[in-house]
Amino acid sequence: MKTVFAGKRFLVMGRAGMDFSPEPAGTRTEEATSFSSSLGGSSANIAVAITRLGGQASLITCVSDDAVGRFCLNQLDHYGVARKHVRSVGGEFRNSLAVSESRIEDHQTVIYRNGAADFQMSIADVEAVDYSSFDALITTGTVLAAEPSRSAAFRAFELARQAGIPLIFDIDYRPYSWASPAEAADVYSRAGALCDIIIGNDVEFGFMAGDYDKGLDMARELARGDASAAASTAASAAANTSIIIYKMGEHGSITLTPDEEFRTGIYPANALKPTGAGDSFMGGLIASLAAGHSLRDAVRRGSACASMVVARVGCAPAMPSTAELESFLAEHVDHALQS
């Protein structure tokens, strides 16, 4: 099976933030005397991953109208991510900040999200976009955690459907962002029913199903279209067969479509940290599909991207280029994916 986007232009909805990493790699935050800074935030990371792999990405979000927000804007420019649809907001709203260690043992990531600027994305923001100029809309689940961002996201889904472009959803469940687990499960289920490609881990699908042991069943239902048939009203957007990727950490992933189900392992990595793998996987998968690779090969390439990123410091700066990805795959051509 092959899923082909009309082109390589992607609109990515969700946050951009600043990441601090204690230096040198392996240092505990409480013992650090110096830190490196980089662009972070799941949606910004995905956008960077796509641009590094030859695609075009535009971010839609809000950032704080202060030095940290301007840092994020400068970083988006640095990576070639378009920011026409990034709005700066004043007042007491602040950009997300993550202090994340480059260590596996006893890893700590501390995230500051109080009064998050990205939650101020409005319906007016998403209605200002020409969705016909993009080949898909990608969103992460965090954008749904609060208003007015939640209503804006659902409006963006509606407008993307009207424009006939696919919807791609990274579940990205962060409990600290939500008022309650019940609310999150309900909103995620509604969002998932509207989307053509859904990526999440076993815990996230289990959460959506209301029972961890039923997560894979939930993924299979979504792949068959049981939950989304009523929502798929735009024929051109629904032309791409639903793809569900059920990630299982070190045990790889299961890819499900209405026609097939297959399991993929992971590439071995000398990991420095556990963060960034999901964003890199998403970027690698989508960029590879857009470049015409088969679904199986795109999943394999996404897995390679994930393994590369966890072996590097930072998230956005760790995203591999096309040349780096091809070199990695060539070096591992005789090494079967581990599962």
Give residue-wise pLDDT tens across range 59-79.
999 999 999 999 999 999 999
At 172-210, the pLDDT tens digits run 998 888 999 899 999 998 999 899 999 999 999 988 888
Domain boundaries, the chain: 9-330
Lowest mean pLDDT among 164-168, 236-240, 323-327: 236-240
User: Does domain 9-330 sit in CATH 3.40.1190.20?
Assistant: yes
Among 11-20, 117-126, 217-226, 327-336, name the one with the lowest average pLDDT.
Answer: 327-336
Tell me, letter by letter, the H, E, C secondary structure of the chain: CCCCCCCCEEEEECCCEEEEEECCCCCCHHHCCCEEEEEECHHHHHHHHHHHCCCEEEEEEEEECCHHHHHHHHHHHHHCCEEEEEEEECCCCECCEEEECCCCCCCCEEEECCCEHHHHCCHHHHHCCCHHHCCEEEEEHHHHCCCCHHHHHHHHHHHHHHHCCCEEEECCCCHHHCCCHHHHHHHHHHHHCCCCEEEEEHHHHHHHHCCHHHHHHHHHHHHHCCCCCCCCCCHHHHCCCCEEEEECHHHCEEEECCCCEEEECECCCCCCCCCCHHHHHHHHHHHHHHCCCCHHHHHHHHHHHHHHHHCCCCCHHHCCCHHHHHHHHHHCCCCCCEC
Given a cut of 60, is residue 227 above it in pLDDT?
no
User: Looking at residues 236-254, what average pLDDT do you find?
Assistant: 76
Among residues of the chain, what percentage have pLDDT more than 90? 82
